[in-house]
């Protein structure tokens, strides 16, 4: 029986998505299994590796069943994963820690110290990873200083994808793309960086085997082959990081084509044919495939801010929407659409979880500015959505300074389902924005890498024929005139508030809210 399908697995921050695609890139079946983000303290952001593994096995089983796929019809399974995760494993290959995610800020003080030193810039130029507590390198500095007993018990330092693949195949392997995001990998030598390893106090034999993003694993554990219905000789392709694969999955793989993504977090990225490093250390440089590098900036505060607005400011509307079985986010965007562009002068800085690009400050906090008695909750939701896009615009300006003005913008992520948000992006950026029909860009990107690895396609560029109908949004002059006036104010405020973020963050850490929930769930 001939190959008819591929599976893309996207290991995300709040859920694992498993998508069954046909060979034309059409999604046939999808499973989305959520799990909690544990936040026992204000700066903590952890996940349970067993919950993610169960979500992965469950998702694979579900799409094989829903797609009525015969094992011989499946060409391969390819992976995407969130960057910067860290798990400490003991000598018996059991986790010592939960998954410490990119959103965990407990290493903030160590990031600040490293960033202020010459060593920080030296490591950035070698690895392409900005100095920030998201980085496993910085997490290891924190763990070595404050939890040496855990580090002493550690036999392997791995990420979440490595953990999943170890459970399936009994090997520790890591693709260049995710290794690149650890801060321990040299983008010029394509190997672990000796200086970074010394700083982190990590040995090479404690890290996974490095392989390319097209690398294949076979010999799936018989138990999981039986549960999922996948033949044990089906190739599992390593794939890459979710951010780089999102560029591929929206067809933004040519120089000058900008990809803007907003999911739980967000990013702005562009592909180059060689590693290009920002001399100011503000942008990342991550590997995707031979002659394909992704330069850009990640933001902590994307859709997770919209969720906060819904849960904390619009709880009654959320409850009503659930009772009526309608999408609560659509209810909120409809409310926001009644407010003019610029929210009548109400500005919002979306830094509810610290921030990576553009300000790289783990202590950053959110704020409304310009509130008057005339402003309503509707203004607040509009301002929150605009604040997220303003922040992405600042990242775009940084990229423009390194790689030149973008000639096209491809946008994707959960936000792309909202016509209001899509138009807002075009208006703030003052540029045509294209939205591919497929929303599962990272999973599709993973599948395209897998198809190239298996010889089913000759070139990654075929993804442009797979992404389906593209919706285009042109900037609205009446709207972008308002944003032209407000953006300079927003940017100046960002710089002025920066001097106080440390003080307010220190206060909040010293006086934690005892009512804070220990975990969040979608």
Residue 257's alpha-carbon distances to 140, 200, 279, 449, 471, in angstroms, are 35, 36, 22, 19, 16
HSE-CB for 254 with a 13 A CA cutoff: 12
Average pLDDT over residues 28-34: 97
Please give the share of the chain, as a percent, with pLDDT higher than 70.
Answer: 98
- Tell me the β-bridge partners of 294: 271, 286
pLDDT of residue 415: 83
Contact 498, 450 (CB under 8 A): no
- Residue 425, Cβ density class (10 Å: 0-12 exposed, 13-18 middle, ≥19 buried): buried
Per mean pLDDT, which range of 57-66, 255-264, 313-322 is the poorest? 255-264
3-class DSSP state of 490? helix
- 157-212 per-position pLDDT tens digit: 999 999 999 999 999 999 999 999 999 999 999 999 999 999 999 999 999 999 99
Look at residue 522 and tell me whether its pLDDT is greater than 70. no
Residues 123 and 121: their CA atoms lie apart, in Å, by 5
What's the pLDDT at 520? 45
pLDDT band for position 514 (cuts 50, 70, 90): confident
- What does the block give as tokens for 446? 């993973």
Question: What is the radius of gyration, based on Cα positions, of the chain?
Answer: 22
Question: Rounded to an integer, what distance in angstroms lies between the CA atom of residue 337 and that of residue 382?
Answer: 7
- Range list of H helices, 87-212: 108-115, 118-127, 136-146, 148-152, 160-169, 176-180, 194-200
CA 496, 501, 507, 511 dihedral sign is: positive
Task: Assess whether pLDDT exceeds 60 at residue 517.
Answer: no
Enter the tokens of residue 494: 């960002």
**% of the chain at pLDDT higher than 90:** 90
pLDDT tens per residue, range 77-97: 999 999 999 999 999 999 999
Across 311-339, average pLDDT: 97
Please tell me the distance from the alpha carbon of residue 58 to that of residue 17, in angstroms, as a whole number. Answer: 10
Write the pLDDT tens digit of every residue in 355-398: 999 999 989 999 999 999 999 999 999 999 999 999 999 999 99
Confidence of residue 521 (pLDDT cuts 50, 70, 90): very low
Question: Residue 74: which H helix or E strand, with range?
Answer: strand 74-81
Q: How far apart are CA 291 and CA 275, in angstroms?
A: 9
What's residue 1's pLDDT? 59
238 confidence band (pLDDT: 50, 70, 90): very high
pTM over 0.85? The answer is: yes
| Stretch (H or E) spanning 260 | strand 257-262
What's the mean pLDDT when you consider all of the chain?
95
Range 450-477 average pLDDT: 92
3-state helix, strand, coil in the chain (%, to 5): 45, 20, 35
Dump pLDDT digits (tens) for 250-303.
999 999 999 998 888 899 999 999 999 999 999 999 999 999 999 999 999 999
Band of the pLDDT at 516, cuts 50, 70, 90?
Answer: low
């Amino acid at each position: 029986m001939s190959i008819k399908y591929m599976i893309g697995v996207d290991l995300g921050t709040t859920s694992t998505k498993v998508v069954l695609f046909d060979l034309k890139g059409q999604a046939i079946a999808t499973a989305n299994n959520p799990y909690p983000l544990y936040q026992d303290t204000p700066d903590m952001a952890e996940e349970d590796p067993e919950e993610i593994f169960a979500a992965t096995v469950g998702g694979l089983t579900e799409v094989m069943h829903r797609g009525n796929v015969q094992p011989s019809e499946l060409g391969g399974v390819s992976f995407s994963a969130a960057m910067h995760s860290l798990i400490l494993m003991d000598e018996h290959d059991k986790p010592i820690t939960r998954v410490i995610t990119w959103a965990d800020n407990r290493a903030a003080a160590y990031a600040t110290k490293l960033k202020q030193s010459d060593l920080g810039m030296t490591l950035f130029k070698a690895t392409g990873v900005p100095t920030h507590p998201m980085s496993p390198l910085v997490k290891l500095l924190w763990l070595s200083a404050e939890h040496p007993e855990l580090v002493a018990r550690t036999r392997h330092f791995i990420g979440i994808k490595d953990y999943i693949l170890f459970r399936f195949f009994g090997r520790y392997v890591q693709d260049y793309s995710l290794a690149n995001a650890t801060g321990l990998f040299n983008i010029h030598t394509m190997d672990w960086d000796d200086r970074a390893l010394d700083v982190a106090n990590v040995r090479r034999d404690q890290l996974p085997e490095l392989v390319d993003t097209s690398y294949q694993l076979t010999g799936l554990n018989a138990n999981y082959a039986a549960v999922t219905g996948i033949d044990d000789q089906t190739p599992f392709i390593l794939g890459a990081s979710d951010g780089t694969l999102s560029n591929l999955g929206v067809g933004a793989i040519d120089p000058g084509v900008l990809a803007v993504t907003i999911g739980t977090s967000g990013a702005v990225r562009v592909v180059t044919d060689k590693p290009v490093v920002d001399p100011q250390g503000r942008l990342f440089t991550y590997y995707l495939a031979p002659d394909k590098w992704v330069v850009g900036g990640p933001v902590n505060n994307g859709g997770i801010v919209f969720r906060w607005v819904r849960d904390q400011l619009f709880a009654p509307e959320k409850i009503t929407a659930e009772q009526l079985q309608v999408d609560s986010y659509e209810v909120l965007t409809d409310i926001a659409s009644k407010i003019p562009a610029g929210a009548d002068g109400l500005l919002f800085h979306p830094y509810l979880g610290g921030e990576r690009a553009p300000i790289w400050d783990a202590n950053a906090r959110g704020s409304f500015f310009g509130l008057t008695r005339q402003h309503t909750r509707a203004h607040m939701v509009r301002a929150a959505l605009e604040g997220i896009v303003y922040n992405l615009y600042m990242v775009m300006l940084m990229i423009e300074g390194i790689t030149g003005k973008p000639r096209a913008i491809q946008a994707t992520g959960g936000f792309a389902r909202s016509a209001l948000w899509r138009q807002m992006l075009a208006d703030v950026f003052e540029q045509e924005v294209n939205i591919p029909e497929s929303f599962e860009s990272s999973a599709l990107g993973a599948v395209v890498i897998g198809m190239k690895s298996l010889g089913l396609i000759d070139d990654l560029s075929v993804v442009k024929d797979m992404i389906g109908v593209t919706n285009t949004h042109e900037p609205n002059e009446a709207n972008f005139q308002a944003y032209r006036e407000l953006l300079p104010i927003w940017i100046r405020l960002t710089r002025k508030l920066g001097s106080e973020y440390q003080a307010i963050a220190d206060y909040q850490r010293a006086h934690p809210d005892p009512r804070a929930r220990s975990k969040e769930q979608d």
